[in-house]
Structure 1
Amino acid sequence: MRTRLLAATLTALAAVSLAACSSSGSDSGKATSAAGSPTAPAASATAPSDAATPAATTPAAPGSDPAAPTAGGGTGAPAPDAGASGAPAPSKPAPPADAGLPAKPGTDVTAKLVSALDAIDPAIVGGKPDQAMDRARNQCQSMYQFPKDKQKLADLANQRFTSADHPQGFGPDTATKINDALLATLCPPSR
């Protein structure tokens, strides 16, 4: 009789301690049962031997180690995939904030860009080649970010390339020509 009670108590304690060891996030440091209440060895020792508790009859509590051997000799863990290396797949890194922004060009590239923009409309540069170059570099970055959205790129060119006579930009046709000139002279190839 005492042997059964002792065996049932030890089995229950083993199941509870396995569950406590395999669970994470317990800040109190106390072992808890599967129901979440603190274990009480004295209470289980006074339990009648005829009334078997579920923890005493169940060899493994919920949350037990899935890699522990089962009755069939295998483990409860799923078999690893033959092609898996065990390491998580690398995530795609985010592009840098300056992706697509060309470096400040030399005088020869600046002259080529100014010439191309002046051929479209001399008011685009308006005698301010440095300002036109800054706007062109920013437009190149937008072309890198939105390579297939021609409408958005034309809208952005209209917002960037303005003058006193054209405060709302030079229109969609001229904006498309500006984008083509930038691709031909300054912007790196899009993705």
Structure 2
Amino acid sequence: MRTRLLAATLTALAAVSLAACSSSGSSSGKATSAAGSPSATAVSTTPAAAPSDAAPTPAAPAPGTAAPTADGSAGTPAAPADAGASGAPAPAKPAPPADAGLPTKPGADLTGKLVAALDAIDPAIVGGKPDQAVDRARNQCQSMYQFPKDKGKLVELANQRFTSPDHPQGFGPDTAAKINDALRATLCPAAR
């Protein structure tokens, strides 16, 4: 008998919840239309031998509906979370794209100018690998775009990027500064 009672209670609760979610109209109309729905009436007419001390468990209100107050009446409708209250902070400024400042792959003529400028500083910078030197130069251009006023950081990054087997720790700060100047003159003039 208790199993039937539990099944009838759960069915009634599900029917009321579904009726409240699927009906349209004001939030106070939802509560009355749910109670007056045929499924709720049919379930409530089933024989039930509920203990007198058992109280029905109220269903949680559907999103955007009024939450019941302590006296059983409908309260004010809950505001949607994304309503954008006037006291809410303005949305943050979007970050620049990750490839901001990254120049496109240069053509053969610009690659030749870049390699010549780097070879003039030290032939070991390119070391017979012009594609690798171009990739490093493009990444350095992006850093120049991101940190335009931080010359110390740019020298440090150039010293980390431009390495060779003979210079695994970089070519030093003086050469790194010259590399940055050469890149500004050839591949990334926008980073002046």
Question: What band does the TM-score fall into relative to the shorter chain?
Answer: 0.5 to 0.7
Query: Relative to structure 1, is the Cα distance of residues 31 and 144 closer, same or farther in structure 2, using a 3 angstrom cutoff?
Result: closer
TM-score (norm 2): 0.55
2:181 is the counterpart of 1:175: no
Deviation track 1:151-187 (CA, whole Å, cap 9, x = no partner) reads 1111111111000110000000110110010011001
1:27 aligns with 2:36: no
Give, in angstroms, the shift of residue 128 of structure 1: 1.0
Task: Work out which structure has the larger RCO, using CA pairs closer than 8 Å and 6 or more positions apart in sequence.
Answer: 1
- Matches of 1:40 and 1:92, distance apart in 2: 44
Q: Normalized against structure 1, the TM-score is what?
A: 0.56
Q: Hey, which bits of structure 1, 4+ residues long, moved more than 6 A?
A: none
Higher helix share: 2
In structure 2, the partner of 1:95 is 96
Deviations 1:32-61 (A, max 9, x none): 33xxx25269xxxxxxxxxxxxxxxxxxx9
CA distance in 1, matches of 2:164, 2:172: 12
Partner of 2:41: none
Residue 173 to residue 26, structure 1, CA distance change in 2 (3 Å)? farther
Letter of the 1:27 partner, please give it: A
Q: For structure 1, list consecutive stretches of 5 or more residues without a partner in the other structure.
A: 1-16, 18-24, 42-60, 64-79, 81-87
Correspondence for 1:39: 72
Distance 1:101 1:30 in 2: 53
Distance 2:110 2:66 in 1: 72
CA 1:62–1:32 in structure 2 vs 1: closer, same or farther (change >3 Å)?
closer
Sequence identity of aligned pairs in percent? 75
Given the superposition, is the C-alpha separation of residues 26 and 150 from structure 1 closer, same or farther in structure 2, using an over 3 Å criterion?
A: farther
Task: Give the unaligned 5+ runs of structure 2.
Answer: 1-27, 29-59, 78-85
CA-atom RMSD, angstroms? 3.3
2:141–2:191 contact (8 Å) kept in structure 1: no
1:137 aligns with 2:138: yes
